Amino acid sequence: MFKYSNTNKRYYTLDYYYKNRFGCKVCKINLDANFTCPNIDGTKGVGGCIYCLNGSSDFKKKVSLLEQFYERKEIMLNKWPNSNLIGYFQANTNTYDTVDNLKKRYELILRQDNVVGLSIATRADSISDDVFDYLCELNKRTYLTIELGLQTIHEDTAKIINRCHSLECFDNMVKRLRDNNIDVVVHIINGLPYESKDMMLKTIRHLNTLDIQGIKIHMLSIVKGTKLYKMYQDKPFKILTRDEYIDIVCDQIELLNDSIVIHRLTGDPIKEALVEPNWILNKIDVLNGIDKELKRRNTYQGIRKNSIQINE
């Protein structure tokens, strides 16, 4: 059995981490606080990253933050009674505003019953000094996680996806957050246009050199209404098959430092808008496939973390 598991998982699951930290089940309540993004409003770029369906959310903007919270809370507590909750500010860039506006939203959620912390999704280039100071203060009185979208370490790919910030910017923000004892979770995407398996594994190797506490691994999904969709229509590129994705993820798990919590191993695309790949809709099948492949290999997270091989 993997040392950070009490199930058949061969990797460090978020559920295991939460239960050991808080002594009970913890559920994340995803929220849309109606923020925008510097890569949408023209500050850094326009239109957002090419896979971003700008303004999309499970909730319409007219639904208040508390309405969102209570709706999701009811669903979660019906499934897992007596759970603690973490407010997950998910949509767009959730530090890209004034401190006053951030406080109104963050503190509102922190005041709700059973809330033990916040998880805040943002960009490495979108935490101003005054916002950073507020996050440091917040971190001293609640459980705080900052989720940073990296997607890839490769600058050529970053230009293709219109990320609009550098790897150096990302690395510097991770260091700054960790110097202040703020936990960091990193998002990466497998299957980005023209990336090879070796490139995807190099992204993991780089993350192993940083002090990060968690990772979310996504499969690229092409959805209608995005720049990526038009790009794929005009010039189709290779989409990973289910088996290729499982193989790559298992290699990434083997390489990943075993102290890093794996928050996610696949994505949740909008079914009605999804173009490719259709196999991603069967999330349970993908997760089971990863478990079966790790078992077949008789391997687990971190077994190859010290590997220096470049070509896999």
pLDDT digits (tens, 9 = 90+) for 271-280: 888 999 999 9
Q: Residue 255 — pLDDT band, cuts 50, 70, 90?
A: very high
Assess if residue 168 is contained within a domain: yes
C-alpha distances in Å from residue 41, one per residue of 36, 48, 49: 7, 8, 12
Domain that holds residue 32: 14-297
- Predicted pLDDT of residue 312: 47
- Cβ neighbors of 110 (< 8 A, separation 6 or more) are 87, 118, 142
Assess if residue 306 is contained within a domain: no
3-state SS, residue 130: helix
More confident residue, 68 or 268: 68
Q: What is the dihedral of CA 209, 212, 218, 220, to 10 degrees?
A: -50
Residue type, 38: P
Assess if residue 62 is contained within a domain: yes
In the chain, which residue ranges form alpha helices assigned H by DSSP?
14-22, 65-79, 99-110, 129-139, 155-160, 167-179, 197-208, 227-234, 242-255, 283-297
Per the structure, the count of domains in the chain is: 1
CB 55 within 8 A of CB 35: no
Distance (Å, whole) CA 310 – CA 308: 6
- Predicted pLDDT of residue 164: 73
- Predicted pLDDT of residue 1: 64
* CATH, residue 78: 3.20.20.70
C-alpha distances in Å from residue 84, one per residue of 17, 77, 119, 144: 13, 9, 14, 14
Q: Residue 62 — pLDDT band, cuts 50, 70, 90?
A: low
> Is it the case that residue 149 has pLDDT exceeding 70?
yes
Q: Which two tokens stand for residue 275?
A: 């173009």
Assess if residue 35 is contained within a domain: yes
CB 162 within 8 A of CB 151: no
Q: Is the link from the previous residue into 38 a cis peptide, with omega within 30 of 0? A: no
Assess if residue 265 is contained within a domain: yes
> Is it the case that residue 60 has pLDDT exceeding 80?
no
pLDDT tens, position by position, 8-53: 899 999 999 999 999 999 999 999 998 887 777 777 767 778 787 7
